[in-house]
Chains A and B, each alone.
Chain A
Amino acid sequence: MTIVAAPLIHMIAAAICLMAGRRSRWIVLAAWAAGVGLLAYWIGVFAETGPIHETVGDWGALGIRLALDRPAIAFLLLEQLLVGAVIAHGWRSRLSSAFYALLLVLAGSVCALCMSLDLFNMYVLLELLTLTSFLLVAYERRSVQIWASLKYLLLASLGMSIYLAGVALLYAQVGSLSLPQIGEVLASLSPGEAGWIPIAAALMTAGIAVKAGIFLYSLWLPAAHGSASTGVSALLSGLVIKMGVLALLRLSVILPIDHVLTVLGVMTGIAGALYAIVETDAKRALAFSTLSQVGYLLIGVGAATEAAKIGVLMYIVAHGMFKGLLFLAIGDAGERVGSTEISALRIHRREIPRSSRVAVLVGCAAIVGLPFVGAFWAKEWLFVGSAPVDRALLWLLVFCTALVFSRFLPIVLVRGRCPGERNKSLSYALLGAGLPCTFALAGVLAPGRGWLMGTTLVHAAWTLAVVAAGVLVGTRIPALMTLRLPRSLFRIEEGVVAILAGVFLVYVTICAGT
C-alpha cells in the first residue's frame, strides 16, 4: 500500500470532521484507529524488507521523494501515541469540530513531514504545522494565548523565510531539491568548490532552529506552550517541536553541520535548564525544560554515529511520551487547584487527583532517566554513541534536569484519595504504556544489535548518582531558585534580533569547522 495513505486519511477525515458537527470526535477516533492499523502493517513490512521509497508526481527528475525509513517509523509511532492520548484526554470536554479538524490536519502534516525527503515539501509542511499550531494555541481565545500565538506566528514565519532563502541558494548551486540527489552532488564536490553552500547551510539550519525549540531561536516557545490549553501544550511540546529536530536530522546527513548542532545543543540545554529552575509557574517550567531537553537530541545528532542516531530517535519518542504525560497531568492538577503556580500546587496538593499525581511522578522519573523507565534505554544508546566530551555535557544536562524536577516532588509525595476522571486516567495510561514502547523500538530500528548493551549496570549506577546529586542540590539550596535572569528576551523585537544573531552564529561555526 502506498505510504501517502497515512497523511491522506488524516486530511480527508479533517474535512469530514468539519461537516460532522457534534459527532466529530468519533471520526477522529476512526482516523486514529486507521492510522494505528497502517503503522502496525508498515512496521511489519519495514522489519522484513527495510525502508520503503516512493516518488510522488514522478515527471522525470521533478517528483517529491518520500521514504518510510527509521526516523519516519519512530515519528509515526510517537504521533499515534500522543494523538491517541490527546483524544482520550479531551473525550468529555465538548471540544468543537474545528478543534478536531485542526488536530487531524496537524497529525496529517506530521505524517507527511516525517516521510518527506524534499526540501521544498518540508518547507510547505512546516508552514502548515505553524498555521495549525498557531490556531490551536489560541483555541480558547484568552488574550494571553492570542498574544503568544501571534508572537509565534511572526517569529516562525521569519524563520521559515530564512530557511527558504537558504533553499534558494542551495538550489541555484546544486539544481535539485531532493535530499538524496543533493547529497550525491555535494559528496562529489572538492573542498575548494563550496561556493554558497556554507551560507545556504547556515540559513537553513537557523531557519529550522526557530521551529525546533532551540534557545535563542525559539524564544516564542515558553509563552506559547505555557499558555495553550492542556492537550494542545502536550501535542506542541511532544510532537511539533520534534518535527524541527527531524528536519535538522535530515539536513545533518547531507550538510556539514554536525558540530553546529553540538554547539546549539549545549546552548539550549543549559540556558533552558537555568530558566526552568527559576520559573515559578509549573507549565512554563515544563516549556523551558522542553528547550533544555532538545539539547540532548542535538548533541546526539551532532555526535553523528549510528548508535547515537538510534538513541536520538528513541529519545524523541520517549520525550514525547513523558513530556506529554507531564503536561497533561500538571494541566489537570492546575485546573483542579485553579492555578499552575508551583507554590499553589504545593499548598493544595491534597486536592489533586491521585491519577494525576502518579502521572507526574512517572513523568519525573522518566525525564531524569531513572533506570529501567523507558527513557533510560534511549539515553544509554545516546551515551554509547557519543564521544567522551559530549558524554560529559550530557551528564551535566542530566544533573540540571534532576535539579529542575526536584521541585515537583513535594507536589506528588503525599497521601490523598481525591478521585480523577476515567478518560483522563486512560490518556495517562496510554502515554505511560508508550514509555516501554521505546525499548521495543530499538529492536525494530537496529535489529541484531542485541537488547542489552552490556554497559547497562554501570550506566544505571552513574544515573542514580547524578540524579541524587541533582535532587540534593535542588532541595538543599533554595537560593538557586531566586536567581534573576533577563525576562525582556521574550518580546518580539528581541526575538527577531536573536534569530539574526543566531544565523551569524551558525555561519561562523560552520566556517570555523571547515
Chain B
Amino acid sequence: MTTIATDLALQMERVSKIYSVGDAQVVALDHVDLTVDADEIIALVGPSGSGKTTLCSIAGGLLTPTDGSVIVGGQDISRYSPKQLTRFRRESVGFVFQTVNLVPFLTARENLLVVDEIGPRTGRRARDRADQLLDELGLTDRSSNLPAQLSGGERQRVAIGRALMNEPDLVLFDEPTSALDTQLGDQVVNLIRHEMKSRGTAAIIVTHDDRITHYADRVARIVDGRISDPGARDD
C-alpha cells in the first residue's frame, strides 16, 4: 500500500470503465477526470444511465476501473485486489445508500457499531465514537430503537452516522433524499453539509435533487460517461 502525499480527497485521472454485455462493449465511463478537495462537497448530477453511479462506485472502491488512476486520500486504489478494496472501504470511505439499508434487527447504536464488528475490533474506542456520533446527530435518545421504530429522517441520520464511524477521507451519498419529503430532505441535506464541513471531510452526493445542488460547493455534470461540466467551486 503506497501513500501519496496529497491534499486532495479524490483524484481521478482518465478513468474509463467498460462493461462487456455479451459480445458488445458498453462504455460506462469514458476518460473521466475529477478531483475533490479535502473538505469539498460536490454534487454529481446527470440523467439516469449517464455513469454517475459507476463513477461513485469506482471512487468508493466498489468497482475497479478498466483504465486510468484513482487516488483516494492518498491511496492509489486503481489496481487494488478485491481483498484490498474490502479493507479500503472498511477503513477509508463512508457510504450512504439510496434505500436506507440499515440492518433491520440491530438498534441505531448497533448499526453504527457494525462497522467496527466487521473489521479488526477496537471495542471501547468504537463505542465511544458511536455514542459521540449519535449525540451529534441528535439520536442519543433513539439509540436503542430498531430501524422500524425510527422515522425516515432518523434512519437517514443513522446511515450518515454509520458512514462516519471509520473517520473516512471521503463519504459517498447515493440519492440521500429520494425517499424523503421536501422538509425532511432539507433537514437531511443541512445535516450532511454541517457534518462534512465540521469534520473537513469530502463528500460526493449523487442526486437528481436540485435542493442538494445549492448546498454543494460544486456541481459536476455527467452525460454519457463524460464529465460535461466539472463545475466551479463557488466559495
Instruction: Judge: A and B partners, yes or no.
Output: no
List chain A positions with a Cβ less than 8 A from chain B.
none
